[in-house]
Amino acid sequence: MGKKVTELETRRLELQDRLDAEKGTLERNRMGQFATPTKLAVEMLGYARTILGPDATVRFLDPALGTGSFYSALCANFPATNIHSAAGFEIDRHYGVPAAELWSETGLEVRLEDFTRSAEPEGSEKSNLLICNPPYVRHHHIDSGDKRRLQLRVREVCGAEISGLAGLYCYFLGLSHNWMTGGGLAGWLIPSEFMDVNYGKSVKRYLLDEVTLLHIHRFDPMDAQFRDALVSSAVVWIKNEPPPDEHRVRFTYGGTLDAPKMEKSVSSETLRRESKWARYPAKDEAEVIKGPILSDFFKIKRGLATGNNGFFILTAREIEQKRLPLEAFKPILPSPRYLLGDEIRGDRDGNPLLDTRLFLLDPPWTEAEIEKDHPKLWAYLEQGKKTGIAARYICRHRAPWYRQERRPPAPFVCTYLGRGDKKSGRPFRFILNDSRATAANVYLMLYPQEPIARIMQDRPELKRRVWEYLNEICPRAMLGESRVYGGGLHKLEPKELGNVPAAAIAELLPEADRPRGANQIELF
């Protein structure tokens, strides 16, 4: 450290002690005002320099400055010529004003403002190095109007739906997204509880989907070097760019960021399934009990391969024109491109209320019965034989050749060919089927199994909830299971859909009915 930097750090520590003492623990608790120990701040900035490279120039930002422990550590680690700009926000003048005075002769711009209300910068004003120990204000200390404002803003900024039970630090994380350059680095010193608790889900989703999560380090309570407050903290490193395929995240524990006591690299795919991240790096991936997946709740089948859609699927008008018996037909869903909404209602007979109404020929009778009782249908089937349809592979392997496989209507069907770049962000759609219609093989059909089948029967309103949950499945989780074809087309097989994580659905069930892994015992 240069002499001036060391001197300023000594003065900063004195200032911190004085300001903390004047404030009192209760008040500091309410505002989440706990300073980062110098050693850790220096370690974090040193680590940032290792990631960025020794020649990197930085535009630095600390959204929750306090007296400026991270700025001080920045100066200790980066040559002054490489610090292009530096700024810090501090809402509390008690800390902010003396901090501004302390750093007045350096390049640090101290903004005495509420970070969560500040307008984000444009282009070249954004930061490529953001280091933050955000205020740890628990959710019950955030007033409801503020919570709503923060939730809306975060959703707008990075798409994350922060839970009402989340602490202020989760909003800081989300709001910072737009303050960073593409590819910029951020190091967050935050409570590690987000790794395991329910409210942390949206944070984890953000970390896995919107940015590249590089590294999570946690402290060992046996290490006396940091104050008690850090025992339950984690340092989270992210790069502001989408994650590469087959990305792996470094989990470390104890020791220092550079020389941890324990270390493990865990794939994003595993993290997506695993609800308790705090088990890493101590546990092996193989030891992790998988969370619930869709096949724990549904039998998934591909829709029907009719043998020849033109022959077996007819409109009501065609059936009438050919004077075929209606009892020989079952309603069937049209192809997804004719479905405008994601919900199909049925009329009194269970036929789908759609503009395109289609019916599948599946007569329950033998050939002899048809010949005797339904001459028009007999003639139609004879035509199928003449044109070679009956001899085709699928028909040839059925007995009789015109009998369809058993596919009762399913309450949920999924379109399984999709493009990941769709505007809606959802490459695959789940459709709620309230009709009696079956589906052809352009769909995957989801049949609820026990216990969800029973519970849905007892509580019909649950059907809609389950459907909503299905549509909330993170697109990446589905794309992760799918295969990619030319032009970015993704295809999902029944087994692959079955492997998609479905922890949210488990939550709809009483605990006793949840499948394996849904009530994990925390072993770590």
Ligand X SMILES: C[S@@+](CC[C@H](N)C(=O)[O-])C[C@H]1O[C@@H](n2cnc3c(N)ncnc32)[C@H](O)[C@@H]1O
- List residues binding ligand X (CB under 6 A): 31-36, 62, 64-66, 69-70, 89-92, 95, 114-116, 133, 135
Cβ distance to ligand X smaller for residue 66 or 336: 66
Nearer to ligand X, 40 or 332 (CB): 40
Nearer to ligand X, 92 or 296 (CB): 92
How many whole angstroms separate alpha carbon 430 and alpha carbon 298?
A: 13
Closest separation in Å from C-beta 133 to ligand X: 4
Residue 16 CB, shortest distance to ligand X, in Å, is 7
Residue whose structure tokens are 């970070």: 115
C-beta of 187 vs 303, nearer to ligand X: 187
Which one, 135 or 363, has the nearer CB to ligand X? 135
Kindly state the smallest distance separating residue 219's Cβ from ligand X, in Å.
Answer: 15
Task: Please give the Cα distance from 23 to 33 (Å, whole number).
Answer: 10
- 46 burial type by CB count under 10 A (0-12 exposed, 13-18 middle, 19+ buried): middle
Partners of 444 in the β-ladder: 302, 414
Q: Please give the Cα distance from 167 to 142 (Å, whole number).
A: 8
Nearer to ligand X, 134 or 494 (CB): 134
Q: What is the 3-state secondary structure (H, E, C) of 276-327?
A: CHHHCCCCCHHHCCCCCEHHHCEEEEECECCCCHHHHEEEHHHHHHCCCCHH
User: How far, in Å, are 261, 361, 398, 493 from residue 393 at the CA level?
Assistant: 61, 18, 9, 21
Question: Which residues fall within 8 angstroms of residue 37, CB to CB, at 6 or more apart?
Answer: 69, 226, 227, 230
Q: How far is the CB of 34 from ligand X (least distance, A)?
A: 5
The least distance separating ligand X from the CB of residue 519, rounded to whole angstroms, comes to 34
Q: Which residue is nearest to ligand X (CB)?
A: 66
The secondary structure element, H or E, covering residue 369 is helix 367-373
Pairwise CA distance, residues 158 & 147, whole Å: 16
Cα–Cα distance list, 440 to 334, 495, 508 (Å):
8, 17, 29
Rounded CA gap, 178 and 175, in Å? 7
Instruction: Please say which residue, 117 or 459, places its beta carbon nearer to ligand X.
Output: 117
Instruction: Please give the Cα distance from 343 to 86 (Å, whole number).
Output: 52
Provide the minimum distance between the beta carbon of 185 and ligand X in the complex, in angstroms, as a whole number. Answer: 17
CA 168 – CA 190 distance, rounded (Å): 10
Q: Which residue lies nearer to ligand X by CB, 135 or 517?
A: 135
Give the distance, in angstroms, between the CA of residue 132 and the centroid of all CA atoms in the same chain: 23
Sign of the torsion angle spanned by Cα atoms 192, 195, 201, 206: positive
- Which tokens go with 71? 């700025």
Q: Among residues 35 and 230, whose Cβ is nearest to ligand X?
A: 35
| CB nearer ligand X, residue 133 or residue 433 | 133
**How near is the Cβ of 204 to ligand X at its closest, in Å?**
22
- Choice between 229 and 305, CB closer to ligand X: 229
CB of 134 to ligand X, least distance (A): 6
Q: Following CA atoms 173, 178, 179, 184 in sequence, which dihedral angle do they give, to the nearest 10 degrees?
A: 90
* CB of residue 117 to ligand X, shortest distance in Å: 7
- Distance between CA 209 and CA 274 in Å, rounded? 15
Distance of closest approach, residue 229 Cβ to ligand X, in angstroms:
9
Using the minimum distance from each CB to ligand X, give the nearer residue, 91 or 410.
91
Residues in the chain: 524
Q: In the complex, what is the shortest distance from the CB of residue 438 to ligand X, in angstroms, rounded to a whole number? A: 55
CB-count exposure of residue 143 (10 Å: 0-12, 13-18, 19+): exposed
Minimum CB–partner distance for residue 79 and ligand X (Å): 22
The nearest distance, CB 256 to ligand X, in angstroms, is: 17
Distance CA 83, CA 79 (A): 7
Q: Is residue 133 a contact partner of residue 229, using CB atoms and an 8 Å limit?
A: no
| Shortest separation between residue 237's beta carbon and ligand X, angstroms | 16
Which conformational region is residue 246 in: left (phi greater than 0), alpha (psi within -120 to 50 degrees), or beta?
Answer: left
Q: Which is nearer to ligand X, 175 or 278 (CB)?
A: 175
Q: Which residue's CB is nearer to ligand X, number 235 or number 440?
A: 235
Radius of gyration from C-alpha coordinates of the chain:
30
